Chain A
């Protein structure tokens, strides 16, 4: 039976029921887009497997819990959040913790970092930079037939705001820790905006953690504007327990001569779906999308990438790799779109997967859609096991079978990890992945929740 009408009904009740709270708790600009987005959501609904982008991803399980859909934080909630410490050693970053999609310091939460970069809540930003927020908010979202994007616009009430004005740079990465903590099942929707103006530079690290065993579902929309000659990096480290669902939509809009990269490292999570849209709108820009996923148990990890070459002479790469064990399943859905005007395009797309168990499953759909002729586009996808020749090579040099397998798998994963621009993090992830591949569960072993 279709579960969706019931969920949509519930969402509608909450939408109309908490409308007052929404309006009160959110910036005015959020409220202005709410109604249209809500109608759009009703039109599109929750995507099912008939939707090409969700062909291999079933959201039913994630939407099936009695979520307290509208969550409004109270001060004591944040006490728990403040206890949180990032366990990556030597990570030199500027750090901030978000709880269930909310900014702990509330209205005051907008700070200027050395170098002139602003970071804080959307609520505060809408007050301090109304013109800027107005100019960029809800301008880069796409999503074609994905109803979850308008659902976020309709129901989100806060999120992260990051602003690098012209000619500014902050040498350290900015780390945002998204904590999920509640004694109820929560459906959180946060809405983030990153504006990197001309000749500015910004590096963002987003870590997701769930610290209580409840069921969580997060539906995040992040819009990024990357101005001329500027540089932006985003790294996501997703490490939530198996009761949680994480759906992200990231829209990166690039102007000419800009550089952007996105790294999605998915180590854990019941259901994870990362959609990353790279829109190359100015000539000579460059964009990279990387992803690594290690899944076991019943996890499902999906990556959706669209690189939209809408200007000439741009370069793009996509590299996604996965190792799937036990009953897990993975999906990759990548598309390179080259518009007629985008002559001189150089685009590359690759998705490689290793299946470790009989029940693991991988579906991949790398696609090219090309309307210009002076292009070099290629893509490749593989699903298989470790190369027997390589294994033999190692074993003939006295390395035992298990160690040889680990070495190969680690090398396989490192291809993606080596693109992480923050050294301390790169080492940490290397370490985590190695532990994980060895079977010393990197998350569950140290986790107090022990969900399953």
Chain B
């Protein structure tokens, strides 16, 4: 194994040297060295898993001559990773996968970067959010939960979520507004931990992404109440008893007019050649066509929107504005 590994590495090195020596006519851009794939979050989270999945798919299907190297830069709620991309202007061998902290981190912490410092490449998917309660709790529908929340003293209901002043807490604030209640938000480090805190009844509800809570759902430990999307999820495969992702009602149909989806998108540093962007767009199209990717999308009940070019830029622009409004309403903007 290590032998083949080494042989492979040597082969990679040789191609790299060859590429350096005999410059091929530059009609199509191709990476000439390892591509750094920055994850602005810690190991094991949703963005990290997706990045490593992509790395695995590219390696397994030989989609690129050079290797992809996943690098975690989680400091400052991901600010560290984005600053690195911002400071690598013109470097076509760097990619970053984003989560909502692309918008929330600069707003909440004042760390100086914005998506305008980056080149949008492609939207890979949108991650869904589902409202979960413990399976032992008496609340079977959103209405029952909201009634109980209204009857309880303010702050008695606790919401567990990932990080602070990020997507989970934004949804929590929206939930407070929609129901006129006060919820205590308890931040944890990762989505898996949040799901287990719900199973252990240390919090009353969560807004975990489907993939973070699906194992506990299948085991009958948690119950989904509604999904924060305009239409129900696609997955028809039975997961818990007769229930599937598609049987979860939308929150809007349950009287909670809240929609929130999280971007899983790819960006590059500013000032990179157009050919390079096109190369990566093609690469990610190939990644999306693999069976492994389809499996990940189904397991995590992702919203499989794909966008590139001006459409994507426009979408990102609108999304940033929406986040600014949401964060302002919630009082999450950095004061300095």
The answer to whether A binds B is no
